[in-house]
Each structure stands twice: as C-alpha cells, then as structure tokens.
Amino acid sequence: MIEPALPVKSANPLRTVRPAKTDETVNPEVGQASRAIRNLDWDLLWEKFGIATVLAFVWILAALATPRFANLDNLASVLRQSAFVGVAAVGMTIAIIAGTFDLSVGSTQALSAWTAVAIAPYFGVLPAFIAAVAVGGTIGLLNGSLVVLVRIPAFIATLGTMFLISGLTFILTNGQTARFNGKDFVWWGNGLIGNIPVPFILFLFCAAIGAFILHRTSFGRYVFTIGSNAGAAYVAGVPVGRTILFVFVVVGLFTGLGAALLGSRLYSAGPGLEPGFELNVIATVVLGGTRLAGGRGSMFGTVAAAILFATLSNVLNLNHVDAFVQRVAVGLVLLLALSVEGVRQRLVERWNRRQRPSS
C-alpha cells in the first residue's frame, strides 16, 4: 500500500468521533488512482486548509492591488496584530470544539492586561506575565465552576462574569489607565526577532501547544468527544465535568497571556481595553473552520483566520477605506465564509446520500 500524502478517510483520527461516515463501501473494481481521489477527504482538507488557501489568495491580491502591502515593515505589523486576538483564540478554539464558549474573554483581557502593566514596573517582566496569566486562569476557574458545578449555561455564566469582571476592573483601577514603557517589558509586544514580531512567534508557540493538547493528550480526545456528543461521552465514561472545567481554565490562561502581550504592545492598559474583543475572538475561531456546534475544528485554521482578519483590517486601512465600511467588510467576510461552509456541507451530505446505495 502506498503511503498517502494527503489525509484519507481511514487514517483520520477525527472521524472516530463521527463513526457514521467511516464505513463507506469502496468498489473494488475502481482503479487505484481514482480510488485515491475518492478516498481523499475533501471535507477534512477544506476544514484544515480552506481558510489558509483563502489567506494565500488574499495576500497575493493585496500585494498586487495595494502597493504598500508587500513591504517587510507592513507584513510584520500584520503578523504582530494577528497575535493579540490569536493567542486568546487558541484557548477559544478548544472551548468551541468542546461545544462551549466564553464571552468573558474581553473583560478578562482588560483586567489581565492592567495587572501586567501595573505589576511590571515594580516586580519585573516575568512576574507581570505570570500575574496576568494567573488572573486569566482564576477567572477561567470561576467560569468553569459556574458552568459545571452551579450548572448555569455557558452563555449566561460567562455573560455574567463579563459584566462582573468589567465592573470590578473599573472599580479596581478607578477608571485610570496603567502605563509602563520599560524596554524589557515592551519588547514582548513590539520587538522583532529577525523580521518576525515577538508576539507572533509566541502566538505560533501557543497554537502549537493548543494543537498538542487537542491531538496528543487524553484531555484533547475528551474535548472532541464531548463536543460531538456530550451525552454519549458521559455514558462512555468521559469525565465531562472535569474536562469542561479545565477547558475554561485553559481559555483563561491563554487570554491572560494575550492580554499581557497587548499591554506590552500598547505600553499601557485601561479598564475598557478593547470593545467587542470577545466577539472578535469567537469570529476568528469560527472563520478558522471550527464548528460553533462543537466536535470539529483546527488550530491551524484559527492561526490562518487570525492572520486573515489582521490582513483585512490592514489592507482596508492602507486603501483608506472608511471605518464604517470596514465594519461592513468584516461582517461580509464572516457571513461569506460561513455561507461557503454551509453550502459545502449541504453538497457533501447530498453527495454522500447519492454515493451510498440504499441496500
């Protein structure tokens, strides 16, 4: 048997959670080549690389249409910008695959970033980052406890903590912005290694950790299983409660790290840091091909989507597109991407129905 270069259905670990499709009958008369094509999982291919392909096209178009786009400084800015939403999106990807989500990441980001900037001048860079991550993890633990132990639906629980944390941050900070421009602190958000922005490198590192957690640990397997069918997972002996609790903690930890990076980038952090941040994060994850319903998704897609959003905003700025039109554009891209997804899924369903004889 030839080693397949591209994912084929039988070798797909994700499919273990969707057993309905794995038992497809293969006609033995069909030749090797066409069988290989038939066995190519276009579905998974699109899920994994679809958005990356779109990103590649957007970059080529942008480079051709916008003179200043393909300029090393500008590309570095785009990649840097993708990191601040991206790091939080790594955690959110895991949450959405598990079939849940977290609306409090915007408030968490504000409090964590403020903590980092407020602590850095007195205790140094490392304690500042650790404190920001710890604040995120604590809020995650609170969210997880509310969802798992108190059994409040994730939407309401995290909406509640969103208001709670945001209000608390305003009270704690007295509405004042913290400011610190120490060289070793702001390097983490602004520095370059070669021509690659430091926060982007950290973003890729986080995404790699996220992918490892998802695909190489039993926790990751539980996440996929619960996202596909929480009830069945519970019956099968998956520790659903513990897993979901830990998912929220993971979201908080990544959000805290992203927040510290943003504080470093801005040399400052105010109590109302980035309005609508949680929705940007969720939009990034969904654009990256992760199903909002749970059970499927990819970290690679999230990375590509974060870069795509940053690219979009950059290209629109470079072309002096009005800010209101920019919002329309972001909305359209999201709707278009999800429409493509929806239409594709329907086509796949129809195709599968026709392929399988009703014997």
Partner 1 sequence: MKQPPKLLTILLTICALLPAAPGIAAPAKKKIGFSVYDMQYGFFQDMEKGTREAAEAAGFDCVLVDQKSSESAMVSATQDLLDQGISALIISPFKPDALGPIVDAAKAKKIPVVIDDIGGGGTDYDVIVISDNEKGGVIAADHIDSVLKQKSSASKKVASISCEPSAVYAARRNAGFEKHIKELGYEVVASLSANSKQEEGYKVAKDILSAHPDVTAIFCGNDPMAVGAAQAVADSGKSGVKDVYIVGFNGDEIALQAIKAGQMGATIQQVPKEMGKMTVDLASKLMKSEKLEYSNPANREVYVPVKLITAADVSALLK
Tokens at 112, concatenated: 């964590």
From the CB of 180, what's the least distance to partner 1, in Å? 9
**Looking at 12, 39, 138, 190, which residue binds partner 1 (CB under 8 A)?**
190
DSSP 307-349: HHHHHHHHHHHHTT--HHHHHHHHHHHHHHHHHHHHHHHHHHH
Reduced to 3 states, what is the DSSP secondary structure of residue 30?
coil
Stretch that binds partner 1, among 33-41, 60-68, 120-128, 328-336 (CB under 8 A): 60-68
From the CB of 356, what's the least distance to partner 1, in Å? 28
**Looking at 81, 104, 115, 169, which residue binds partner 1 (CB under 8 A)?**
81
Most distant CA atoms of the chain, gap in Å: 75
**Looking at 43, 59, 93, 333, which residue binds partner 1 (CB under 8 A)?**
59
Q: Are 26 and 35 in contact (CB under 8 A)?
A: yes
Bridge pairing between strands 192-193 and 196-197: antiparallel
Reduced to 3 states, what is the DSSP secondary structure of residue 269?
strand
Which residues make Cβ contacts (< 8 Å) with residue 11, sequence separation at least 6?
4
**Looking at 19, 32, 193, 320, which residue binds partner 1 (CB under 8 A)?**
320
From the CB of 129, what's the least distance to partner 1, in Å? 18
The H or E element that residue 197 is part of is: strand 196-197
Stretch that binds partner 1, among 52-60, 130-138, 233-241, 348-356 (CB under 8 A): 52-60
Residue 265 binding partner 1, by CB under 8 A: yes
From the CB of 148, what's the least distance to partner 1, in Å? 32
**Looking at 159, 191, 267, 334, which residue binds partner 1 (CB under 8 A)?**
267
Residue 313 binding partner 1, by CB under 8 A: yes
Find the DSSP H helices in 149-239. Answer: 154-173, 183-190, 198-216, 218-228, 230-235
Which spans of this chain sit near partner 1 (rule: CB under 8 A)?
Answer: 3-7, 49, 52-53, 55-56, 59-60, 63-64, 67-68, 70-75, 77, 81, 84, 176-177, 179, 181, 186, 189-190, 262, 265-268, 270, 273-275, 313-314, 317-318, 320, 322-324
